[in-house]
């Protein structure tokens, strides 16, 4: 992995909520948490692509998602989503953004009905 690449773009959870209120037609939302985490707390509209299951989806990622579309990645706190963002960029995805603070921050700042764990 090239750590000297451009810095990874990030978005706050409040900016994400505003974006989701009037989303672009081609918006792609990815949740990289594990299925048992998603069962506890999830945000509607996110496609679950668990990092631990990447062998099942990685090979076909460019057919499953549009590499030119805006892509936002979520996890619990923002670390795994940053890894996924870096990987997507290495696969030719052009507009990848990490959701800073993850679903934990979303629950605190945007929607308290989303359970925290």
Characterize the bridge pairing of strands 71-74 and 28-31: parallel
102-109 vs 13-21: helix axis angle to the nearest 10? 70
**Nearest-CA neighbor of 98 among 16, 22, 5?**
16
Catalytic residues: 75
CB 105 within 8 A of CB 98: no
């Amino acid at each position: 992995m090239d750590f000297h690449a451009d810095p990874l773009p990030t978005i706050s959870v409040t900016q994400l909520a505003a974006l989701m209120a009037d989303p672009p037609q081609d918006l792609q939302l990815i949740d990289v948490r594990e299925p048992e985490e998603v069962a506890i707390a999830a945000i509607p509209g996110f496609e679950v692509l668990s990092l631990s299951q990447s062998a099942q989806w990685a090979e076909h990622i460019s057919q499953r998602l549009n590499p030119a579309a805006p892509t936002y990645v979520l996890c619990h706190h923002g670390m795994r989503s940053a890894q996924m963002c870096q990987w997507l960029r290495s696969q030719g995805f052009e507009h990848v953004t990490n959701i800073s603070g993850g679903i934990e921050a979303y629950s605190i700042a945007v929607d308290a009905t989303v359970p925290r764990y």
